[in-house]
Amino acid sequence: MKPLKNNSSHKTWKDKLHDIIYEADTPIGKAFDVILLILILLSIIFVMLESVKGLTPATYRYLYYAEWVITIFFSFEYIARIVSIKQPSKYIFSFYGIIDLLSTLPLYLTFFITGSSALLAVRALRLLRIFRILKISRYIGESNKLAKAIKDSGAKILVFLFAVLVLCIILGTVMYLVEGEESGFKSIPISVYWCIVTLTTVGYGDIAPATPLGQLIAAMIMIVGYGIIAVPTGIVSAEYASSGHQPKKVNINTQVCSNCNASDHRDEAKFCRKCGEDLRNE
């Protein structure tokens, strides 16, 4: 049962704007999301290209103009999001509200603070906005179940990762004593870094044991690491398997309350479950 949205003759322009920007049940709302998705991806590609050396000056100029066009679009979108909601503070101080601001502001700030590439790199956070758009797409069910499994096994994996870290600090100290500075184990922090690189099976090879005893200990660390990599996997497997038996499925639509910005409403919901706002907009 779709929410009764089609009798839009009674709606104000704010309500219409809210439907377009925040929701994806109407054709215009869907089109808006697709355009936004493309613009975010384009702007990320532009941010990445900007950092590449050796392009022609014309390309940098083009990237600069494109960046301004996208930023102005995002600015209008940010303002529209504030205007179309009844309690703007609910949006402004929400996770996505802050992300939206952080990914729009840096370019304007370059007028006042010059040469701050760190500031411009904040724009990479724009990428997080994709999750808001995808959330209201067909992956909604998958993401939720996945998020649940990760959340359930989170505490156990944290305990495990902490134990791995303690192990790395102790083994790193041992390797510092065994190998010494000639092999690249210059200090205990560097040795701990090496131990993490080894135990997680990344193995850059920028630092590698050179003495027979060091190689023996390294081999033992690897064999142990091979055994303990199984632990977090086992935890998630078990959690995911047990979280699979969900009692019943609820159809969630893309409506967002125009008063308090709460989302994930059920299809049959007529009032916002958080603030009581009428979702039918009659």
Closest by Cα among 215, 210, 209 to 191:
209
Contact pick of 72, 219, 273, 278 for a second copy (by CB under 8 A): 219
Contact pick of 115, 142, 247, 248 for a second copy (by CB under 8 A): 142
Q: Got the DSSP string for 204-249?
A: --SS---SHHHHHHHHHHHHHHHHHTHHHHHHHHHHHHHHT--S--
> How many residues interact with a second copy (rule CB under 8 A)?
86
Within 231-270, the residues that bind a second copy by CB under 8 A are 231-242, 244
Q: How far apart are CA 257 and CA 274, in angstroms?
A: 9
Of 69-77, 138-146, 253-261, 265-273: span binding a second copy (CB under 8 A): 138-146
Q: How far apart are CA 211 and CA 180, in angstroms?
A: 10
Q: Specify the amino acid at residue 238.
A: A
Within 66-125, the residues that bind a second copy by CB under 8 A are 117-118, 121, 124-125
Shortest separation between residue 58's beta carbon and a second copy, angstroms: 18
Q: How far apart are CA 224 and CA 276, in angstroms?
A: 56
Q: How far apart are CA 68 and CA 81, in angstroms?
A: 20
Shortest separation between residue 249's beta carbon and a second copy, angstroms: 15
Shortest separation between residue 154's beta carbon and a second copy, angstroms: 9
Residue number with CB closer to a second copy (81 or 126): 126
Shortest separation between residue 198's beta carbon and a second copy, angstroms: 6
Residue number with CB closer to a second copy (186 or 274): 186
Residue number with CB closer to a second copy (222 or 260): 222
Closest by Cα among 262, 67, 254, 40 to 130:
40
| Distance set, CA 218 to CA 189, 203, 212, 226 (Å) | 17, 11, 10, 12
Shortest separation between residue 15's beta carbon and a second copy, angstroms: 32
Whether 161 and 196 have beta carbons less than 8 Å apart is answered as no
Query: How is residue 271 annotated by DSSP?
Result: B
Residue number with CB closer to a second copy (66 or 124): 124
Residue number with CB closer to a second copy (149 or 272): 149
| Distance set, CA 96 to CA 51, 93, 133, 146, 261 (Å) | 26, 8, 11, 20, 11
Within 9-68, the residues that bind a second copy by CB under 8 A are 44, 47-53
Contact pick of 101, 139, 267, 268 for a second copy (by CB under 8 A): 139
Shortest separation between residue 76's beta carbon and a second copy, angstroms: 25
Within 149-208, the residues that bind a second copy by CB under 8 A are 149-150, 153, 155-157, 159-162, 164-166, 169-170, 173-174, 176-177, 186-190, 192-193, 196-206, 208
